[in-house]
Amino acid sequence: MLAQIRVMRNKNRLTVVNHYAILEIEETVDRLLFGTGGTPHSAETQTTIDGIRCIAELGLGCMEMEFVQRVTLGEAGAKLVAETATKEGVKLSAHASYYINFNAHEPEKIAASQERLLQAARIASLCGAQSVVFHPAFYLGDPPETAYETVKKYLEEVMDKLKRENNRLIIRPELMGKPSQFGTLDEILRLSTELEGVAPCIDFAHWHARTGAFNSYAEFTAILSQVKDRLGRAALDDMHIHFSGIQYGAKGERKHLDLAEADLNYLELLKALRDYDIKGLVICESPNLEEDAMLLQETYLELVKTG
């Protein structure tokens, strides 16, 4: 017997009902959105809800909720955040705790790390966020290959748990800025190919700080080509990008800077994003947050207009 399939649309959500199941399909962002890492400074208060309202007022498109010290929302608060984000048309992501190390040598630290990522993912999902970014690990003197297997094993346990909870949020290990930190381009792309539900957070500032290179059009497009070759075009249609000015030295990242004070060639990066028709979120982590986010957005739109 032929299964009957019905498809219904409500704004950007597609509901597909077939013989076996009801599938809810959230369409991915169909263009490149710019926003801030955390509530903008110019928001009325520093709450997440006022942050979302401010993003909309400024004409930006997205915001990353910073659960970096702790998850600041409960379930009721998360639902209000979701309502506000839908009403204002702002896309959300979340940044999980800084206190995560999937390569910790003590089992209790691994368990605590897994719990922190799960907690962020559960609340972020209630907020209607599409992904959670996290800093996976430190090498702690281990060979990178050993660290990779350890990180993968414990991350896989988290992914299994989320799947059982029917939480389909995308978990994004971040490209990290210090050589002591797990999270090279190769490592995060490898995790993304080997684990279902995992995709990269490409932090161009971190990679520049870590390598002292990757600050030209050719190098930016080399990263994008690698993402495409290893994860497919679909990955370029759903990118999560972190960007800011950055100060760095022999040990990589020192601190984030405003773009005007830093050497990052953001014009060339924006040209690369335009030419590769990148879609998804660009989260600005400069200290001035919304000012650089708006600078990036305006420059990008100008580049798109002029071709």
CB 259 within 8 A of CB 245: yes
53/256 with CB nearer Zn ion: 256
Q: Shortest gap between Cβ of 174 and Zn ion (angstroms)?
A: 5
Q: Which is nearer to Zn ion, 180 or 225 (CB)?
A: 180
Specify the stretch interacting with Zn ion by CB under 5 A; choose among 16-24, 50-58, 172-180, 298-306: 172-180
Whose CA is closest to 161, among 137, 107, 124, 197? Answer: 197
Contacts of 72 (CB under 8 A, 6+ apart): 48, 65
Residue range at the interface with Zn ion (CB under 5 A); choices 10-18, 40-48, 166-174, 274-282:
166-174
- For Zn ion, which is the closer residue by CB, 37 or 40? 37
Q: Which is nearer to Zn ion, 152 or 242 (CB)?
A: 242
Q: Which is nearer to Zn ion, 285 or 291 (CB)?
A: 285
| Total chain residues near Zn ion (CB under 5 A) | 1
Residue 82 CB, nearest approach to Zn ion (Å): 23
H or E element, residue 82: helix 75-88
Site stretch for Zn ion (CB under 5 A), options 2-10, 69-77, 167-175, 226-234 = 167-175
Contact between 255 and 247 (Cβ < 8 Å): yes
Residue nearest to Zn ion (CB): 174
Report in angstroms the alpha-carbon separations of 150 from 184, 193, 194, 251, 288: 15, 16, 14, 24, 37
Return the ∠ at Cα 286 (arms to 136 and 87), rounded to 5°: 85
Q: How far is the CB of 241 from Zn ion (least distance, A)?
A: 12
Contact 245, 264 (CB under 8 A): yes
The pair of three-digit structure tokens given for residue 250, joined into one six-digit string: 């022999």
Closest approach of Cβ 9 to Zn ion, in Å?
Answer: 35
The residues of the shown chain that bind Zn ion, judged by CB under 5 A, are 174
